[in-house]
Every structure is written in structure tokens, then in C-alpha cells.
Structure 1
Amino acid sequence: MPDSSDTVSIGDFSRMTQLSVKTLRHYHDIGLMAPSHVDPDTGYRYYSYDQLPTAAVVRRLRALDMSIADVKAVLAADPAGRNALIGTHLQRLEAQLADTRAAVDALRDILDPPRGAWKLEHRSVPTTAAVAVHDNVDRDDLPTWWEGAVAELQATVRTQHLTQTGPPGALFGFGIFDRDHGPATVFIPATGPVRPVGRVAEYTVPAAELLVVRHDGPHDDVDLAYTELGSYATRHEISVDGPLREYYERFAWDTPDPAQWRTDLCWPIFRSDRGGRR
């Protein structure tokens, strides 16, 4: 068994990379990306922190519809060959679909990552009165479910004349990453008498100690921010299995320009102090 400080469980690796546990197991089975260690007694898979950049590249290449065989070729190639393979694939995609531009830019950021791009912050969040939509959701259905929940909540706040006290947010339970199905909650902090309607009900957002990173722009490359966030949380903090949390400080309902979107991504931790920025 390798040093536990150098490895993480498949569940934490899934949360860091935003690749589902099912996908990571599949990549192992087909020889695309093997864990750094498999416990011979339990069969549990463990990954090293050094594999995080590889996971990010694999995720982006697969998002760009590169075949498994070609992804394997990229990972096996020397730097010149790797860049040539990626360049050829990008040219083909750019000729076919203008919509791939955001994913192409994100891949280039992985190949030449900006230094010091992420500022981490400790945040203590108190319990907060809110209205919310909660359900157990399949991972693949999450974006559509999230959009519908936000629309219902905004309509409730507006028609019931509630006082919004903070930005909309969401909680994503561990099961969504570990089993591709789990609890999710979308909420809007608000005060005033709440009348349950449809899926919307009164809700108290639980207090939490969080490690936070701010993500600017669309969510196409949100996995990179989660990689930095989760890596720091599991290396330097006491990471807990509470839900990941997001706060949408500025989003589609504020501006149609995705470049102006701003989301706080939050990883739950255990703390006894009240720290500042990292």
C-alpha cells in the first residue's frame, strides 16, 4: 500500500476531477487510465495526485469527441507527437462545429495552465433561511433538473414577494459522484412567509465550514477549479464527506454573457479556527 498522503480514494478523485466513479472504473478496465494502486484484499482503487493533470486532459479530449484509441495515443506519445495529434483533432473539430470553441480553449489551458490562477479562501457559513427544490437526481439529468429548479425558485420568490437575501446556490451530495445518483438541492436564500408550491418548499441551508475558490466564466472548465480546490482540501485540510456547494454570484439570469458569470465553488472541511485567504 503506498503512502496514504500521496493517494486519494476513487470517490475523492471523482470529486476532484468531476469524472464519475463509473467512468473511472471503465477507464481502468479498458486500460486508458489505471489507478496508482488497487488494494489486493478489498479491490478498492486509489489514485495519486500526480494523475490529476492526466485526468483533466482525458476529460477534455473525451469532451471533444476524441476516440478512446486516439486518447490512448495522445497519452503514449512524446510531447511533439502529442501536440501533433491534438492539433490535428482540434483542426477537424473547428472545421465541423463552431460550438467546440470553448472546449478547445479549455484544452489549451490544460496544456499550458496559468500560474497562480486560483485563490482559495476559508469561509464559515451560518444556517440560512431559504426556499429550495430537493430531489435525488441521476448525474446525467443534473443540468436539466438544475435549470428547472432555479426557474421554479425564482418564480416563487417573485410571486410570493419574498425578500432574497443572497445569491442562489446548490448542494450536490456525494452519491452523485460516487454512484451517479444522489441528493441535490437548489436554493435561494430568502425571508418572508413561504407557501409551498410545486416542488418548492421552505428550507434551512445548513451551516458549514468551507474551502472556497471563485470560478469566473462559463462552467465548461469547472473541473479545473474543482481539481485545485479538492487537491488542496484533501492535502492540507480535514476534508469531510458533506455535499459540494456552489453559490452563483453572477449567472445567466444576471447577464447573457457567460464571460461575466461568477461562481463560488465550495468544498466542505472540518475547522476549529477562523482562517483567511490562502
Structure 2
Amino acid sequence: MLAIGEFSTLTHLSVRTLRRYHDAGLLVPAAVDEATGYRSYAPEQIPTAQVIHRLRELDVPLPAVRRILASPDPTDRAALVAAHLRDLEAELARTRAAVASLRRLLEPTPPPLAVELRAVPATTVAAVEGEVAHDDLLAWYAGAMAELDAALRSGQDAGHDTGHDTGPTAGPPGGAFDNALFEVGRGHALVHRPTTRPPRRGRVHPVLLPAVELAVTVHAGPHDDIDVTYGELGAWVVANALAVAGPVRETYLVGPRDTAEPAAWRTEIGWPVFRVAASRTPSGRPGPAGWDAPG
């Protein structure tokens, strides 16, 4: 038998930690003196203590450690550890995204935002839409876009036999997202691909996107700090235009479907605005009737 101090030295777990593990039922001493309360441990408990130590270094919660130790099946134990590692990786990704946004915000001289005023005509698209929680948006987007791609491929393949396919796509994929998604954490989301003959298959159906006037900029790189570009564009709109109600539009000029290199991604963000008086766009080109110069 080993006194608690000896066991602490052998396992690199403090006496205080060993007492806490005892109280939590994780590592019960082999014997406890009824008169003094001294704890004693058996040498064969050392591997268990070391496993607990490694799991706690990975921030595995105490209830999860208890389940891992109680599982007699190595496969089940491995699955429990793997699930926690996935949670850690997700948390690390969120931390990296927050760091990227903070670094960009702390730049002393951020590059000027290039904004174009654009009148977008009504467009027919194949779309998937629904009410989505903001935290679920990325997973929902991936599933919806995969369903869109499959529906368009299926329609074109069927058209080779019937002569009535879905027609060619007329531009990159995009999305439209209600303000409520960002304001209250849940709202309407729509992803689409332009096509001359949208199919009806599963969740995919035709949608006529209405004509809209947009203040447009391009976010370069991964989406970790796209919220900063949103903020910069919103500030530009407040200073130079009249924002109107309506979903913000995104167009995925270059994305994961095009390249695995996040630095090459380009996402166009369009903020709905209303302009008056004919003039010129920020690029110097004549603007459409009913628009005026910014600022």
C-alpha cells in the first residue's frame, strides 16, 4: 500500500487533486483509515491515475472521465475519447476564427473598402430555403448546396435522354440571408444556383429573386473574419446610402467547391440600399437611373 503522498509523487497528481478525485468517485483509495482518515492506494491504481491525469489535461469533464473509466469495452472508451477530441477541435476552430477577426480589427490602417453600387435584375434560380438557427447555418448550407448540385446534375442527365434538361447555370452560387439570422440567431436562409430551367426535386424548387439595388463589396479569404467585412460594409452604407429592409445577398465567386485553398476564396456581399438621382458609381462608371453618387 502507498500513502497518499507517495502515490502523489508516483502519479504527478497533487494530494489535493487525489482527494478531489476520491470525492468525485473517480479514483477511490484502496483503503481509508477510519480513525485518521488517511488514504492509501494500491500500486495497481497507478495506471488508472495516469489515465485520469491525461484525460483531464485534455479538459475531459469529470462525468465523461467517469464514463470512460466505467466502460469495459475498449472500442466504447475510444469512441468517448474521440467524441471529446472532436469537441476540442471545434472549439479550437472557433478560437482561431475569433483571433483572426480580432487581429483584423486591431490593424492600425485597414485597407479602404471597395464598394460598388449595383442594380441587380430579377433572376430565376434553383433554390433551397428554410428557417435556420445561426449556429447551424454552415451545416445547413453544406447540405442545401449538395442537394442543389445533385438536383441540377440529375436534371441535366435526364435531359440528355428527354431533350428537356435543367439548362445551363448562369453564374456562381449564392445565398440570401434575413437580418434576423444575425440579430436574433434564427431566420430565413436561401441558397441558390442560377439556371434557366430550375428543377423541382426534394427541397429544390424554382424561386424568382426580385430585382434589388445593392452596395457590393468582396470579402477575400476564409470566412473566419467575414463578420468584419460585413461590419465595414454596413458602416459604409450608413455613411453613404439609405439601407432598406431585405436579406443580405452573398455570391460565392470562388469557394470550397472551386479550390481547397481558403486564401483564394472570394465572397461577394450585397447590402440592400435605396438611392435617388442619376450619377456615377464609385468606380466612375455611369450608374443606373435613380442613383446618386455616394457621400
TM-score range, shorter chain: 0.5 to 0.7
Instruction: Specify the SS of the correspondent of 2:189.
Output: strand
Q: Could you tell me which residue of structure 1 aligns to residue 228 of structure 2?
A: 224
Whole-Å separation in 2 of the counterparts to 1:248 and 1:181 = 22
What residue in structure 1 maps to residue 127 of structure 2?
132
Letter in 2 for 1:270: F
**What code does the residue aligned with 1:240 have?**
V
Worse overlay, 178-187 or 258-267: 178-187
1:103 Cα deviation after fit? 4.5
d(CA) in 2 for partners of 1:165, 1:234: 32
Q: What amino acid is aligned across from residue 183 of structure 2 in structure 1?
A: D
Question: CA separation of 1:195/1:213 partners in 2, compared to 1, >3 Å: closer, same or farther?
Answer: closer
Of all paired residues, the percent bearing the same amino acid is 42
Aligned to 2:182: 177
Contact 1:157 1:163 in 2 (8 A): no
Q: TM-score, normalized by length of structure 1?
A: 0.61
Aligned to 1:257: 261
Q: Distance in 2 between matches of 1:205 and 1:153?
A: 16
* SS state at 1:160 partner: helix
For the structure 1 residues 218 and 127, does the alpha-carbon distance in structure 2 shift closer, same or farther, using more than 3 Å as the test? same
CA distance in 2, matches of 1:127, 1:99: 37
Q: Which stretches of structure 1, 4 residues or longer, exceed 4 Å deviation after superposition?
A: 96-103
Structure number with greater CO (CA < 8 Å, separation at least 6) is: 1
Mapped contact 1:124–1:274 kept (Cα < 8 A): no
Q: What is the rounded CA distance, in whole Å, between the counterparts of 1:107 and 1:178 in structure 2?
A: 20
Q: Is the 8 A contact 2:100 2:224 kept in 1?
A: no
How far apart are 1:212 and its partner, in Å?
A: 0.7
SS of match in other structure, 1:137: strand
Cα RMSD (Å): 2.3
Distance 1:99 1:223 in 2: 13
Which of 147, 152, 176 lines up with 1:152 in the alignment? 147
Distance 2:227 2:92 in 1: 23
Distance 1:274 1:207 in 2: 20
- Local SS of the residue matching 1:115: coil
Provide, for residues 19-70 of structure 1, a one-character-per-residue CA deviation record: whole Å limited to 9, x for no partner: xxxxxxxxxxxxxxxxxxxxxxxxxxxxxxxxxxxxxxxxxxxxxxxxxxxx
Instruction: Measure the CA separation in 2 of the matches of 1:146 and 1:274.
Output: 38
Task: Decide which of 106, 130, 133 is 1:111's aligned counterpart.
Answer: 106
Provide the rounded CA distance (Å) in 2 between the counterparts of 1:113 and 1:136. Answer: 39
Letter in 1 for 2:171: G
Q: CA deviation at 1:175?
A: 1.9
Q: Distance in 2 between matches of 1:137 and 1:228?
A: 25
Larger radius of gyration: 2
Q: Quick one: which amino acid aligns to residue 173 of structure 2?
A: P
Describe the shift of the 1:183–1:119 C-alpha distance in structure 2 as closer, same or farther (beyond 3 A): same
> Does the C-alpha gap of structure 1 residues 134 and 98 become closer, same or farther in structure 2, counting only changes over 3 Å?
closer
Counterparts of 1:98 and 1:261, CA distance in 2? 18
Whole-Å separation in 2 of the counterparts to 1:181 and 1:97: 24
Q: Distance in 1 between matches of 2:140 and 2:151?
A: 17
- State the Cα deviation string for residues 176-202 of structure 1 (Å, max 9, x = none): 12332211110101113x331110001
- Letter of the 2:129 partner, please give it: H
Spell out, residue by residue over 1:147-167, the C-alpha distance to the aligned partner (whole angstroms, 9 max, x if none): 111111111122212311011
CA deviations 1:60-109 (Å, max 9, x no partner) are xxxxxxxxxxxxxxxxxxxxxxxxxxxxxxxxxxxx96995565344222
Give 1:234 shift: 1.7
Equivalent residue letter for 1:227: G
Q: Shift of the alpha carbon at 1:254? A: 0.4
Counterpart secondary structure, 2:256: coil
Matched residue SS, 1:183: strand
Taking a change above 3 Å as real, the CA distance of residues 113 and 157 of structure 1, as seen in their structure-2 partners, is: farther
Contact 2:176/2:249, CA 8 A, preserved across alignment: yes
